[in-house]
Amino acid sequence: EWTPGHVVEELVESIREQVGEDRVLCALSGGVDSSVAAALVQRAVGDQLTCVFVDHGLLREGEAEQVEKDFVEATGVDLVVVDAQERFLNALAGVTDPETKRKIIGEQFIRVFEQAARDVVGSHADEEHPVKWLVQGTLYPDVVESGGGEGAANIKSHHNVGGLPDDLQFKLIEPLRTLFKDEVRQVGLELGVPEVIVWRQPFPGPGLGIRIIGAVDAERLAILRRADAIAREELTRAGLDRDIWQCPVVLLADVRSVGVQGDFRTYGHPVVLRPVASEDAMTADWARVPYDVLAQISTRITNEVPEVNRVVLDVTSKPPGTIEWE
Ligand code: XMP
């Protein structure tokens, strides 16, 4: 009989067997998969595990704290946080091309993680049990899909932590590779992973960096973060989190339009709401979010985020539109 309890027991047992007394490293993104994978390995081998969380400064409001505080509190995991915000902002300065942004973010991510990994490995170098393993949150659908390869049409380059240099020589543990997403969530709940993380909607690795149309800087990130937090809050309040797949909020940073607020003319930026319904993100339909919820989001964003004076709704399916704008 499939119960999360049994699955946890079994997986914990097999991780213990696999790892023995070696040390283990895990890159934590704040997403469901890496969090549940880390929590499982932590349950299995305790402080033989070290997690590394790279804060690239492109996260949404509250996300870094959820990993740094809530996740650590719930799991007792040993966590190294690398604050790389400045480094990412510098590397992204002035860059507007979407694929270039993705490439820069992916490359910086690997470099920062690599350095952190070396530090962790180094700090245990003269111990009896070196760092030998790297945890990956690979799910069953990923396993099946990767049989097919990337294919000719690489629409957008998806970055995941993977390509680490050979001289680090990790062996991979993929404790979730027999599970589907909903099973991973049940396992996460069983392990006490915070619900905000377990029920998180998909969020792209390059984060808000690909939701600012135009160059990324700290000020624009702050604007988008506030607008995004309001949209998420209202969608949650309306009980729509499980009905919509995700709702990117996109800042058109190089566009301005005229508005009026009180007795004053404004000249601010639009944000786009992109709520979608989907089964697997391969195709998607724009989600029919009730008008009163949209109205509430719009009112709050234009009231509370002074730089934004217009909220627009994306009513494009995928295809032809992708879910993200970049
Ligand atoms: P698109 O925009 O291609 O997005 O329709 C499909 C799904 O993938 C997410 N996405 C990413 N996830 N790294 C990720 O881990 C990425 O680089 C990336 N780009 C897009 C997107 O949020 C949607 O769920």
User: Domain residue spans in the chain?
Assistant: 4-198, 211-313
Q: Is 214 annotated as a binding residue?
A: no
Q: Whose CA is nearest to atom 19 of ligand 1?
A: 204
- Ligand 1 atom nearest to CA at 157: 17
Fold annotation for 211-313 = GMP Synthetase; Chain A, domain 3 (3.30.300)
**Pocket residues for ligand 1 (CB within 6 Å)?**
156, 158-160, 202, 204-206, 246, 281, 318, 322-324
Tell me what pLDDT residue 159 has.
44
How confident is residue 299, by pLDDT bands cut at 50, 70 and 90?
A: very high
Phi, psi torsion values for 126, nearest 5 degrees:
-95, 15
Average pLDDT rounded to a whole number, residues 135-150: 77
Residue 24 CA: distances (Å) to CA of 137, 141, 255: 14, 24, 47
Residue 310 CA: distances (Å) to CA of 1, 228, 302: 52, 14, 7
Q: Whose CA is nearest to atom 10 of ligand 1?
A: 204
Average pLDDT rounded to a whole number, residues 299-317: 98
Pocket test for ligand 1, best of 100, 324, 325, 326 (most atoms within 8 A of CB): 324
Here the ipTM equals 0.99
Rounded distance from Cα 18 to ligand 1 centre (Å): 32
Q: What is the pTM of this model?
A: 0.92
Cα gap 42→133, rounded to integer Å: 13
pLDDT tens for each residue of 179-208: 999 999 999 999 999 999 999 999 999 999
Rounded distance from Cα 124 to ligand 1 centre (Å): 36
Q: Do domains 4-198 and 211-313 have the same CATH topology?
A: no
Cα gap 221→253, rounded to integer Å: 10
Tell me what pLDDT residue 143 has.
86
pLDDT score of 153 more than 50: no
Q: Is 14 annotated as a binding residue?
A: no
Tell me what pLDDT residue 160 has.
47
Tell me what pLDDT residue 71 has.
97
Q: Where are the alpha helices (DSSP H) in the chain?
A: 4-19, 32-45, 63-65, 72-75, 85-92, 98-123, 140-145, 181-190, 195-198, 218-237, 291-304
Q: In Å, how far from its chain's centre is CA 253?
A: 22
pLDDT score of 12 more than 80: yes
How confident is residue 166, by pLDDT bands cut at 50, 70 and 90?
A: low
* Average per-residue pLDDT for the chain: 93
Residue linked to tokens 């909903």:
182
What percentage of the chain reaches a pLDDT higher than 70? 93
Q: Which residues of 74-85 are buried (b: 16+ CB within 10 A; e: fewer)?
A: bbebebbbbebb
Q: Which residues of 266-298 are buried (b: 16+ CB within 10 A; e: fewer)?
A: bebbbbbbbbbebeeeeebebbebeeebbebbb
pLDDT tens for each residue of 209-263: 999 999 999 999 999 999 999 999 999 999 999 899 999 999 999 999 999 999 9
Fold annotation for 4-198 = Rossmann fold (3.40.50)
